[in-house]
Structure formats: structure tokens, C-alpha cells
Amino acid sequence: MATADLFEGVFDGPRREEIAPGAALLHGFARPQERDLIGAIEAIVGRAPFRHMMTPGGHAMSVAMTSCGRVGWVTDRSGYRYATHDPQGDRPWPEMPSVLRDLAIGAAAEAGFAGFDPDACLINRYAPGARMALHQDRDEQDFSAPIVSVSLGLPAIFQFGGMARSDKPRRFELRHGDVLVWGGESRLVYHGVLALKDGDHELLGRQRINLTFRKAL
Ligand code: MD3
Ligand code: FE
């Protein structure tokens, strides 16, 4: 066993790191609720299955997605938007379970964004090889609210740049249980995820799941 594995969970307790102005990385913040979170995600996926949505340009995304909450993010040939109904089945999205909602509100408060009231949670599933190209999140109405992201399962290399696509991105690793809060000056930075490296996570197997909590409306 590598030395790094021996120390896992010993020195990796909750730790807060300011990675950019307005962006806080809360290491391991979601670990205490990991099993409840995974159970809640399984229940959502049972009602609103993961699907590979089509970009407006006509490519299927490598990341599979679903949502919970009042609205969910969808994309198809006509563009990106938040919708109250799952287009697959034309039913309202599953409610946002309190274990998810309370975690997001607690993380936002921890990072200085008291009163965060998310109405959407996008759930992304990365299988080995899946990636997300550099983009900005700008489909929400109110950029003064932060976005809270929760990483579960296999680790991924996340990249974030600046306000211009051409700004050279910085890279860092997101691990199981890490929570990121993006607000203030960092709310509109370009960001993406490199192709997921294969592995076997003890709770989630060969995948990474990322939750992003948003105030969309
Ligand atoms: C920085 N998801 O769903 S989470 C997305 O890991 C998305 O699935 C990635 O980007 C993922 O839109 C990255 C970290 C993240 C999320 C939202 C942000 C970083 C952000 C919004 C603004 C700036
Ligand atoms: Fe994003």
C-alpha cells in the first residue's frame, strides 16, 4: 500500500481552501453523509434515469445527466434551458431531497454565502473517458447566487480558467466528498473536467458523480 493511502482519512479531514477569489474548496465536507447522499441519488435516478443529452450542435454528451428540484437543466437541438419537466417522460423532476439540499446550504454558508436557496440540482455521471469541455455556467437568472458542487466516487482533474476562454486554466484534483462553492468573482469563470481515468471506488465503482446546486430561477 502506498504511503498516501495509509494517511487517507487521517490528514484529509474537512479543510477549507480558497482556490480563487469567491471560490472555496471544502475538502471532504460531504464525507459524513456519503451513504445517505448515494441512496438519495439512487432514488432520483430510479425515477429520472441518467441520459446522454444532445448539444445544440448535435453531439451526444459523454457525461450522462439527470436533475432534481423545481427545475432541471436540459439541452437538445433547440438549445440549453432550465425546464420544470423531465423531457423523457414529461414528468416533473423528482424533488430535491433534504439530505442534498441541506448539504448545499451548509456548504454555501461555510463559504460565506448565507441564505443560499437552490431550486435545481444537476447530477452528472462520468464513466471512464467521459469529460466536460471548458464552459461557463450562465443559464441561471441570478449570478449573485453561488453554485455548490459535490464530487463523489472516482477522482477527476478539474480545470478552471478566467473570464475568457483563452485564459490558461489551472488544474487540481477533485476527490470523493469534496465540495466546491463558486460565487462572487469566480461565478462566471471558464471550467471543465478532463477525461475520467478508470478506477474502482469502494462505494461507487467505476464512475464519478457530481452534483451542482444552482439557483436557476
Ligand atoms: C465554476 N460540472 O455541471 S463541478 C457543470 O464536475 C459542471 O461535473 C463539473 O461544470 C463536474 O456545469 C464541474 C465544479 C463547478 C461547477 C460550476 C461552476 C465549477 C464552477 C460554475 C462556475 C464556476
Ligand atoms: Fe459548469
pLDDT at 74: 98
Residue 11 pLDDT > 70: no
Q: What CATH architecture is 16-214?
A: Sandwich (2.60)
Distance, CA of 45 to CA of 108 (rounded, Å): 25
Read off the pTM.
0.94
Residue 174 pLDDT > 90: yes
Mutation test residue for ligand 1: of 124, 157, 176, 181, the one with most atoms within 8 Å of CB: 124
Mutation test residue for ligand 1: of 74, 138, 149, the one with most atoms within 8 Å of CB: 149
Question: What burial class does residue 202 get, using C-beta atoms within 10 Å of its C-beta: 0-12 exposed, 13-18 middle, 19+ buried?
Answer: exposed
Distance, CA of 175 to CA of 189 (rounded, Å): 21
Is 180 marked as a binding-site residue? no
Residue 3 pLDDT level (bands cut at 50, 70, 90): low
Contact 147, 211 (CB under 8 A): no
Distance from residue 190's CA to the centre of ligand 1 (Å): 9
- Cβ neighbours, 10 Å, residue 49: 12
Angle at 210 between CA 124 and CA 177, to 5 degrees: 160
